Amino acid sequence: MTENTKRVAVVPGDGIGKEVIAQAVNVIRAARAAVDFTEFDWSADRYLKDGTTIPPDGFSMLSRDFDAIFVGALGDPRVPSNIHAKDILLGMRFKMDLFANVRPVKCLDDSLCPLKNVRAGEIDFVVVRENTEGPYVDVGGVFKQGTPDEVAVQEDVNTRKGVERVIRYAFDYARRYGRKKVLMSDKSNVMTYAHGLWQRVFKEVAGDYSDIASQHMYVDALCMHMVRDPRQFDVIVTNNMFGDIITDLAAALQGGLGMAASGNIHPGRTSMFEPVHGSAPPFAGKNIANPFGAILTAATMLEYLGFEAAAAKINAAVVEAVRQKKTTQDVGGDLGTREAGQWIAERVAG
Ligand code: NAD
Ligand code: IPM
Ligand code: MN
């Protein structure tokens, strides 16, 4: 391990998470990036074995000892409460304050584009999802549970600090990557208090970025436009819950959930990288899951760690694999998870 070696904590997690992360780690090794991996078994298996979701000092250890965290997926039907996913995945996002969930939406080949009259190269935008607030904060409760008078409340928490920093991140991202427009999406016509705050802060922050255009769109209309004409989007910033939903929709514009990558970022801090998809229990253990979302995520992580050349090589190899149909079945090929991963690793190494 040299001075410049980056330390990455790997949490493969559950289901297909384990399979796709194994391939993505191989690809990083093939790219010969100076990365030292330490694997953690935090998962449904571990939880069912000894009740551990994440050890008590887990988050401080991750921040102290690692430059990045690479996660597969968490979620298992044997843990219906999803408590381990909440503690581990949402724990990292919230307790490590990874406030910007950056989810690029790029269609890599015409064969993956589900829309008529739209070319792959025309689908190229990024969703910046607020990642530490909203209904995800677990403020709420139930009252008179199990009676006809039962009440359930789940609060949508939005703070000026939280809203402002993610909107600024979106504008800074636009500047850094030569994007021209930031669109903020909310439902302020109904969520007048919570999203009224988003409206006010967005207008204020946009004023500081006169070189970047700003636009607003209600989230329902955004869903319609994403399918009718995704060419119009550049950077979209939105709240936690809407960001979750629209990035599954956006994944369909990229060839499906198997192709979508993401980073959970706090600039300058240990950040976490994971594919957008979940553990896909029906696919688990069958060598059919698409590893490209995880491999593209690995490239995003390498870029964050300063290994731009390795990241570019990996991205180029994935584009070529899709073009040559050296892929899993969901995106038109006939390879298994391992074989598709191996193809990328060989190309990257070569
Ligand atoms: P999912 O993303 O796991 O799968 C939905 C569908 O998308 C699959 O049935 C499959 O058709 C397709 N898909 C997903 N990943 C794919 C891949 N790599 N290759 C090919 N096809 C793929 O979502 P779900 O079924 O709603 O959730 C399953 C579990 O995963 C749940 O426990 C959920 O909470 C969890 N989850 C975790 C994360 C995460 O860890 N970041 C994200 C989403 C869902
Ligand atoms: C995602 C997932 C998570 C979310 C779940 C598993 C908690 O759907 O990363 O998109 O809702 O953020
Ligand atoms: Mn999701």
Q: Look up the CATH number of the domain holding residue 338.
A: 3.40.718.10
The pLDDT assigned to 1 comes to 66
- The whole-model pTM stands at 0.97
User: Does residue 219 sit within a domain?
Assistant: yes
Amino acid at 48: L
- Answer yes or no: do 172 and 270 share one domain: no
Q: Check if the beta carbon of residue 37 is closer than 8 Å to that of residue 5.
A: no
Q: Which atom of ligand 2 is nearest to the CA of 73?
A: 6
Q: How far apart are CA 245 and CA 127, in angstroms?
A: 11
The pLDDT assigned to 291 comes to 98
Kindly give the parts of the chain with pLDDT less than 50: none
User: Does residue 4 sit within a domain?
Assistant: yes
Ligand 1 test: best mutation among 277, 297, 322, 330, most atoms within 8 Å of CB?
Answer: 277
188-200 pLDDT, tens digit per residue, is 999 999 999 999 9
Last residue of a domain, one of 252, 274, 289: 252
Q: What is the DSSP letter of 157?
A: B
Residue 10 corresponds to which tokens in the numbers above?
């790997």
99-111 pLDDT, tens digit per residue, is 999 999 999 999 9
- Answer yes or no: do 281 and 233 share one domain: no
Taking the centre of ligand 3 as the mean of its atom positions, its distance from the CA of residue 350, in whole angstroms, is 35
- Answer yes or no: do 232 and 131 share one domain: yes
- Answer yes or no: do 243 and 148 share one domain: yes
Any ligand 1 atom below 6 A from CB of 73: yes
Q: Can you say how many angstroms the Cα of residue 134 is from the centroid of all Cα atoms in its chain?
A: 17
Range of the domain at 23: 1-96+265-350
Domain count, the chain: 2
The pLDDT assigned to 158 comes to 98
Taking the centre of ligand 3 as the mean of its atom positions, its distance from the CA of residue 13, in whole angstroms, is 16
Residue 294 corresponds to which tokens in the numbers above?
């995880």
Q: How far apart are CA 275 and CA 104, in angstroms?
A: 11
